[in-house]
């Protein structure tokens, strides 16, 4: 792309066809708006030739141009399953072709009509002849005229029975009492009974008249009581006039107004709210007369074995000593009698084996030269240069140390180097000079 811009690659004008020329920014709706710096290159994008194909048309919502759901996706939509009158077929078999002319059930046999089925099976000539002989022997169908009762037994009736108005049975005289009078009698002798009859019905059936006072039969006159004017009970000495009237009308100014609330509300206030100078009422003491000093619960008995004594116990020194067989094998044949100083197993650090000169990748043994946790967390600062901490403690010869300090740029002369070497040999264990001992010698001599 940058090579095209720099002009290293150019398009052959002869190779550009009319399609590329039409897509140039100098034609169509872009004509005269841009300068074509590279007329040989085809412009990117698509030139719009339809004036209605613009951003405004794309952003304008037209409900009449809503795209329809493709036919392949219609069976999977929820609206397809809720269509009224639509036969829902599982989309797994919607396009399966069934067998041609497949019909369920049995094929009707139209050879037998309803008349033949209702008339029954046709009799043969032999069966018809046998039925005729049976009817002639019994006289069936001969002496029974149609619509009339026939004389099958040969009984001769009198002439009066031949009268069309003749009726069997005996007639009775018409009575003055009809069935209606029997069911609902109008002249009941007990509608207005005498006093003795009424008392009898009151005693047996409890049949009181409407508004009649019940009388048990007490002899009130023997005690000087008139039931018509006497009132039972005590008479209030300080009675108040119109008491019932004012009780029924609580809005009267002469009486204090009373607010009637539900009993559930008062019970809730009694339980939920705290009373001044009284314990909270939880409803546990209802129906029991409890004093103000009453304490619920059961008192504890004084016992010398309290919680502390139960936890500490009272064990003697002998009971607190460990068992003599603890950590010892007491079963014969299972004792491990080993000499002292013997250790079982294999050590993790194999210091008993010499370290190979070149350690293989498959050799997972630790010969004691691997760094510990401190070395892993805080490695040597020269680790990136393949220089380990062991290299500073390795002994070197005098010639090697002379060349090392010279290559490092320290620049000691022969006399100074000799002095530092002698001091490093004196402070090194065994007289072996390493990089660390040489550095300490230089520090001590302030070189």
Q: What is the pTM (predicted TM-score) of this model?
A: 0.24
pLDDT at 149: 63
Complete DSSP assignment for 177-188:
--HHHHHS-SS-
Instruction: Give CA 410 to chain center in angstroms.
Output: 80
Q: Is the dihedral of CA 174, 176, 180, 181 positive or negative?
A: negative
Closest CA to 39 of 48, 57, 27, 52: 27
pLDDT at 225: 86
What's the token pair of residue 97?
């072709």
Length of the chain as a residue count: 447
Q: What are phi and psi of 366, to 5 degrees?
A: -105, 115
pLDDT at 152: 59
Q: Burial level of 433, CB count in 10 A (0-12/13-18/19+)?
A: buried
pLDDT at 31: 63
pLDDT at 147: 61
pLDDT at 357: 83
Mean pLDDT by 10 residues, the chain (447 residues): 37 39 48 73 74 79 80 82 77 68 70 69 78 69 58 73 82 74 70 79 85 81 84 80 74 65 85 80 70 77 82 85 82 71 81 86 86 82 79 87 87 88 87 88 87
Closest CA to 327 of 319, 335, 316: 335
H or E element, residue 257:
none
pLDDT at 13: 38
What's the longest Cα–Cα distance across the chain? 189
- Residue 175 vs residues 167, 179, 182, 187, 389: alpha-carbon distances, Å: 21, 10, 12, 16, 149
pLDDT at 252: 55
- Residue 70 vs residues 67, 74, 407: alpha-carbon distances, Å: 9, 6, 83
Extract long-range pairs of 336-344: CB within 8 Å, 24+ residues apart. none
3-state helix, strand, coil in the chain (%, to 5): 35, 0, 65
Contact 389, 375 (CB under 8 A): yes
């Amino acid at each position: 792309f940058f090579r095209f811009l720099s002009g290293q690659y150019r398009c052959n004008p002869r190779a550009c066809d009319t399609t590329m020329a039409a897509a140039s920014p100098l034609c169509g709706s872009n004509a005269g708006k841009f300068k074509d710096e590279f007329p040989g290159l085809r412009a990117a994008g698509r030139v719009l030739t339809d004036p209605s194909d613009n951003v405004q048309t794309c952003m304008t919502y037209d409900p009449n141009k809503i795209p329809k759901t493709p036919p392949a996706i219609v069976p999977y939509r929820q609206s397809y399953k809720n269509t009224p009158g639509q036969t829902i077929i599982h989309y797994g078999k919607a396009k399966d072709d069934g067998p041609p002319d497949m019909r369920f059930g049995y094929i009707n046999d139209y050879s037998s009509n309803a008349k033949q089925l209702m008339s029954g099976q046709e009799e043969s000539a032999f069966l018809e002849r046998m039925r005729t002989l049976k009817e002639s022997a019994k006289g069936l169908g001969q002496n029974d005229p149609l619509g009339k009762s026939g004389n099958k037994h040969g009984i001769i009736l009198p002439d009066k029975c031949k009268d069309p108005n003749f009726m069997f049975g005996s007639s009775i005289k018409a009575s003055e009492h009809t069935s209606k009078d029997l069911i609902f009698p109008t002249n009941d002798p007990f509608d207005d009974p005498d006093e003795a009859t009424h008392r009898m019905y009151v005693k047996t059936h409890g049949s009181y008249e409407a508004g009649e006072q019940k009388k048990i039969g007490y002899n009130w006159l023997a005690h000087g009581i008139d039931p018509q004017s006497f009132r039972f009970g005590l008479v209030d000495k300080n009675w108040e006039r119109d008491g019932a009237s004012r009780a029924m009308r609580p809005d009267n100014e002469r009486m204090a107004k009373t607010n009637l609330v539900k009993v559930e509300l008062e019970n809730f206030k009694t339980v939920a709210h705290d009373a001044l100078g009284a314990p909270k009422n939880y409803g546990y003491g209802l129906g029991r007369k409890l004093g103000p000093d009453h304490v619920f619960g059961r008192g504890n008995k004084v016992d010398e074995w309290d919680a502390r004594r139960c936890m500490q116990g009272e064990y003697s020194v002998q009971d607190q000593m460990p068992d003599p067989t603890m950590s010892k094998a007491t079963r014969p044949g299972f004792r491990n009698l080993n000499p002292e100083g013997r250790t079982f197993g294999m050590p993790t650090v194999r210091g008993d084996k010499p370290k190979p000169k070149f350690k293989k990748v498959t050799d997972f043994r630790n010969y004691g030269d691997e760094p510990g946790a401190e070395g892993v967390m805080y490695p040597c600062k020269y680790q990136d240069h393949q220089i380990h901490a062991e290299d500073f403690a390795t002994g070197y010869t005098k010639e090697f140390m002379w060349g090392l300090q010279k290559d490092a740029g320290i620049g000691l002369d022969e006399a100074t180097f000799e002095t530092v070497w002698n001091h490093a040999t004196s402070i090194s264990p065994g007289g072996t000079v390493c990089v660390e001992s040489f550095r300490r010698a230089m520090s001590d001599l302030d070189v």
